[in-house]
Structure 1
Amino acid sequence: MSQPQRRPPDEAETGELPILHVDMDAFYVEVERMRDPSLIGRPVIVGGSGRRGVVASASYEARAAGVHAAMPTAQARRLCPSAVVVTSDFSGYIEASSAIAEVFESVTPHVEPIALDEAFLDVSGAHRLFGSSSDIAWHLRNAVREAVALDCSVGVASNKTLAKLASVAAKPAVHPDGPRPGLGVCVVSVAEELHFLQAHRVEALWGVGPVTLRRLNEIDVYTVGDLAAVPLNQLVSTVGAAHGAHLATLAQGIDDRPVHRGGLPRSVSHEQTFETDLTGVERVRSEAVRLADAVASRLRANGLSGRTVTVKVKHPDFSLRTRAHTLPEPIQTGHALAHVAQKLIGTLALDGGIRLLGVAVSNLEESSSAEMARSTGSLDERDAASAQPHQLAFSLDLPPDTATESGDEAVWGPTGDTELDLRLADALDAIRDRFGRSVIAHGSAALRDGTPGERRWGR
């Protein structure tokens, strides 16, 4: 991507437009190119590399061949045979995202992360320090480039819907000869809002998925302008009362949603799509241990614990089943989480195998238990420093049994973090902080290749 340049201020810019949407350009791909400069200029696909893998991100060179996110990797390879498929450790993306978030928060505390690579910002209180909204957008773009050597596109408008569409308009353009530089920053003034909005295809609006799009097309609605002209009663009869009222409001450029400051996430989860269907209860239980360890590590790294544990499985016919259990006390260790996850697995029919397994923790809260464990732990960073950097394995697997969905203590057994669990988790964190995640694993999970983050988009 080209070096961002400072654009002269727009004379129509009032400096009072409050909402910015910042979206990184081909984020996963560009992080991989920083790791491996030989990928620069080549078509690159980040995602799962096997027959069940999916595309997480594609370079603009690959997009020119028709590749896009969420496409099966096998289809993407057919469209772009010369593409390099990269599967990587997710931690690199998280590290870059954290640095980008620090840039945002240096301008305003009102930051609402949408994903690792995009966020909404309310800059209504930042004009005195940083100038007009346009000035702030260009400041952020250059500051992000300075912090992580990555490009972003920024949309500036009076509300979220318009700012999101504006950031898309600011992005580089796909072209067979290579990406064409975009605007970098797109400002939608109040006077231009309806003209800008209603020229978009209707599927650009939030809430217009394939089913809604088909129904709207059936009444000759193809653009947002077409949508704005449809009488409300006809729209309601086509897509339903609540959805129709929502779309009618958006089509008029009205979006009153505030920017919610980044707080606790709703959940922490890991899931994996397997190259071949996973069969056998013990194999599924073993994978659940590995996923539980990954989720618990992220909880502790962010000072969180949670009370609701959810297990998700996808069967070979793509049907989904979930089971959840809410604990009386929050947990943050792999042992406690694996215990509940394996109990939940015991309530699911696994005879036909599964293609995907996921473990999640929700109902989150901030926790100080990790610090308490460190004060009494048996292994601190000095102990970890003296450990040998080779793979260790120890048992976290639980004895097989059959659980019910009851919350009765006699059925579930102990489900909270014990002092020993917390001390063990502290030891794990200290070793991994020094030598990396791969040096130590739980029981049979140590025999698996890679970590859940490396297989986020399937093998």
Structure 2
Amino acid sequence: MSSPWALGTLASEVTRSTRSILHADMDAFFASVEQRDDPSLRGKPVIVGGTGSRGVVAAASYEARKFGVHSAMPTWQARKLCPQGVYLHGNMPKYAAVSRQIRGVFEEFTDLIEPLALDEAFLDITHSAHLFEGPEALARRLKARVREETDLAVSVGLGPNKLLAKIACGLGKPDGLYQITEEEATALLAKMPIRKLWGIGPKAEERLLALGIETLGALRDAPVETVRKVFGRHAEAIQARAMGHDERPVETERAPKSIGEESTFPGPVAQRLKLVEAIVEHSETVASRARRAGYLGQTVTLKIKFEKKRSGKRTAAFEIFEGLTRQKRLDRPTDDAMTIRKAAESLLQSIELESPVRLLGVTLSALRRAETEAEKPQLSLFPVATEEPPGRPSLGAVMDQVHARFGANALRRAVDQLDKMTASDREKVGELLPEGDESTPKSPKVPRPGRR
């Protein structure tokens, strides 16, 4: 059956300037879900995220934002700003279920949906807006349907491209509907601070301000040579965005550029053995995700962040992190955990650990589709110990089947289970308990094999 949104103008007849793009963003999503499910929390400042001293805020209700609390803020800082707030550890499986409900509502209006996160998505409504008497009428109906299905508020922005739709959504928050037309874009953006432009982070903002560039209008009019000092070869593209130009399509299926896994240790780690254990855990996860997605990767990256103590107040003693990354290109693409692990371990050996480690991550990139079994890595003439014997199923594939049937902890490599598991890690394996709860289940230790 063909999609109902295939009616109307053919895609080949649609120019970029005639597009209608909608950006939908749930308001304070995690916190709003908690307030919805517990009426006693309504009207109170609710902060969801890591509840320990080293935790990070994942979401803050609008009541909490009045005190200056926002997402990505260290929890200790949030508690200082809002000591009367209600701090919750969160429930990712519940949020994911609500996100699926919201996605179902979006599909009532178009099948061209690009999810950005659990609570945010772009919708291309170019071909379906006329069925709802125009983009604005469609947006109002979408907001009403989300409220009907979830009892939650969604802010919506409309524009001729993704950039303007996202900016419009931000201008309409909370629970708003804002539209930026192509004719309005140049004058509206010219007065906005540079940080409003999607893609400009704190470091780029600092460098632009040092050059005297404070607004998007100033960025647009600056000599391209000046902008190159900050953005290099991307300078022209950034200036085009500052004028409201954005040619990117809504991508319903975006091919991943990389598959990675990282976690922050509860405390500083100085022992290499603990870091190797983390590499083993992350390599297994990355390989499993690559197999499920049907990808092989040829570049392994190890990411490490070191802890640097800050002098002064105790609460801020661990806020400075210095990071580095190392990469290794493999002889051939792989989705094998042992191969990824060996590459990451060799990268670790090349790093001098001058300070304790707070974060470690493993990433597989240079991805391509594993189209057929023939494209799977072949045995070499002189096989190494990590390769499977001919005719035997891949150990990784067998582990995937066991995990799918019996759970993520049913079968593990012969190494000690890490005690570095963070809240997000526990959520992934269904062990979510309040941070610091002594009743958190621990998997039994697995004996180490003897050294060879």
Residues 204 and 289 of structure 1: CA distance in aligned 2, closer, same or farther (over 3 Å): same
Alpha-carbon distance, 1:333 to partner: 5.9
Alpha-carbon distance, 1:328 to partner: 5.3
Residues 1:363 and 2:366 are matched in the alignment: yes
Taking the aligned partners of 1:31 and 1:326, their CA distance within structure 2 comes to 43
2:189 alignment counterpart: 197
> CA offsets per residue over residues 177-200 of structure 1, 9 Å max, x none?
xxxxx42x2122333333432342
Residues 1:428 and 2:430 are matched in the alignment: no
Give the counterpart of 1:24 among 23, 26, 34: 26
> CA offsets per residue over residues 68-124 of structure 1, 9 Å max, x none?
222222111111112233334544444444444444445334333333332222222
Which of structures 1 and 2 has the larger relative contact order (alpha carbons within 8 angstroms, sep 6+)?
Answer: 1
Residues 138 and 369 of structure 1: CA distance in aligned 2, closer, same or farther (over 3 Å): farther
1:259 alignment counterpart: 250
Alpha-carbon distance, 1:286 to partner: 1.6
Indicate the SS of the match to 2:351. Answer: coil
Taking the aligned partners of 2:281 and 2:137, their CA distance within structure 1 comes to 47
Residues 351 and 413 of structure 1: CA distance in aligned 2, closer, same or farther (over 3 Å): farther
Residues 1:283 and 2:270 are matched in the alignment: no
The 5 Å alignment of 1:268-307 reads 268-302=259-293, 304-307=295-298
Give the counterpart of 1:350 among 348, 353, 374: 353
Alpha-carbon distance, 1:25 to partner: 1.3
Indicate the SS of the match to 1:42. Answer: coil
Give the counterpart of 1:65 among 64, 67, 80: 67
Indicate the SS of the match to 2:69. Answer: coil
> CA offsets per residue over residues 120-162 of structure 1, 9 Å max, x none?
2222222344442223323333344445443321110112221
Matched-pair contact (CA < 8 Å) for 1:440–1:446: no
1:209 alignment counterpart: 201
Matched-pair contact (CA < 8 Å) for 2:93–2:427: no
2:124 alignment counterpart: 122
Matched-pair contact (CA < 8 Å) for 1:333–1:425: no
TM-score relative to the length of structure 1 = 0.71
Residues 247 and 72 of structure 1: CA distance in aligned 2, closer, same or farther (over 3 Å): same
Alpha-carbon distance, 1:278 to partner: 1.0
Residues 1:414 and 2:386 are matched in the alignment: yes
Matched-pair contact (CA < 8 Å) for 1:203–1:213: yes
Alpha-carbon distance, 1:276 to partner: 1.6
Taking the aligned partners of 1:410 and 1:323, their CA distance within structure 2 comes to 28
Matched-pair contact (CA < 8 Å) for 2:185–2:243: no
Alpha-carbon distance, 1:355 to partner: 0.9
Taking the aligned partners of 2:148 and 2:63, their CA distance within structure 1 comes to 24
Taking the aligned partners of 1:355 and 1:214, their CA distance within structure 2 comes to 26
Give the counterpart of 2:178 among 161, 183, 186: 186
Indicate the SS of the match to 1:316. Answer: strand
Taking the aligned partners of 1:415 and 1:313, their CA distance within structure 2 comes to 28
1:319 alignment counterpart: 322
Give the counterpart of 2:142 among 131, 140, 143: 140
Taking the aligned partners of 2:284 and 2:232, their CA distance within structure 1 comes to 44
Residues 1:453 and 2:428 are matched in the alignment: no
> CA offsets per residue over residues 3-25 of structure 1, 9 Å max, x none?
xxxxxxxxxxxx95521112121
* Superposition CA RMSD, Å: 3.8
Matched-pair contact (CA < 8 Å) for 2:112–2:125: yes
1:391 alignment counterpart: none
Question: How many positions carry a matched residue from both structures?
Answer: 392
Matched-pair contact (CA < 8 Å) for 1:19–1:159: yes
Alpha-carbon distance, 1:411 to partner: 11
Residues 1:49 and 2:51 are matched in the alignment: yes
Gaps of 5+ in 1: 1-14, 173-181, 371-407
Instruction: State, as a whole percentage, how many aligned pairs show the same letter.
Output: 35
1:444 alignment counterpart: 416
2:87 alignment counterpart: 85
Residues 40 and 291 of structure 1: CA distance in aligned 2, closer, same or farther (over 3 Å): farther
Matched-pair contact (CA < 8 Å) for 1:47–1:56: yes
Matched-pair contact (CA < 8 Å) for 1:297–1:429: no
> CA offsets per residue over residues 325-374 of structure 1, 9 Å max, x none?
4445655565554454444433333363311111223334555899xxxx
Residues 1:162 and 2:153 are matched in the alignment: no
Matched-pair contact (CA < 8 Å) for 2:54–2:266: yes
Alpha-carbon distance, 1:281 to partner: 1.6
Taking the aligned partners of 1:357 and 1:188, their CA distance within structure 2 comes to 42
Indicate the SS of the match to 2:274. Answer: helix
Taking the aligned partners of 2:165 and 2:340, their CA distance within structure 1 comes to 40
1:224 alignment counterpart: 216
Matched-pair contact (CA < 8 Å) for 2:265–2:420: no
TM-score relative to the length of structure 2 = 0.72
Amino acid at match of 1:111: I
Amino acid at match of 2:416: S
Taking the aligned partners of 2:162 and 2:48, their CA distance within structure 1 comes to 28
2:299 alignment counterpart: 308
Matched-pair contact (CA < 8 Å) for 2:59–2:70: yes
Gaps of 5+ in 2: 1-16, 309-320, 374-379, 429-434, 437-452
Taking the aligned partners of 1:66 and 1:444, their CA distance within structure 2 comes to 42
